[in-house]
Structure 1
Amino acid sequence: MSTSIWIVLVVLALLVGGVAGFFLARRSMESYLKKNPPISEEMMKSMMTSMGQKPSQKKLNQMMAQMKNNTQTK
């Protein structure tokens, strides 16, 4: 085989590997974030307490629902 065919094959393999790696990493990151959300209800509660607010369960539920809606629309 000539050198130009090898170069084309190497470039093609790099492109296919890069695209496949991107989608595989994206999929695994999305599943990780679904299982382990970045902010839990307890973290939100302690954050509100440290800001001087008394967090009610209704307010916590509203904020968690709002965060969930924001992540689903993106």
Structure 2
Amino acid sequence: MAARTFVSSLRSFQKASPWLGPEHDPALVMLEAMAKELDGGELTPALLSQFGLAYRSLQKLAPRSDRGEVDPLDEVLAERGR
């Protein structure tokens, strides 16, 4: 098993997130730059915190179904057989 890195973890997130589109590129580029710095440089609390904030901000943009949440409207429609 290969060593887990910030870069490889970010790539895994991208592969598991088909909802990511071109509009997310600036955030992904920023995350990749921080991931490379975290993997190759000194692990600073400030950079680690910024990476976490940026990652969680991007993750919150995922559709509800990708986050394991059920849309209440979808639930009601399913109950009514539509």
Q: TM class by shorter-chain length?
A: 0.3 to 0.5
Ranked by relative contact order (alpha carbons within 8 Å, sequence separation 6 or more), the top structure is 2
TM-score, normalising length: structure 2: 0.31
Which is richer in helix?
A: 1
Q: TM-score, normalised by structure 1?
A: 0.34
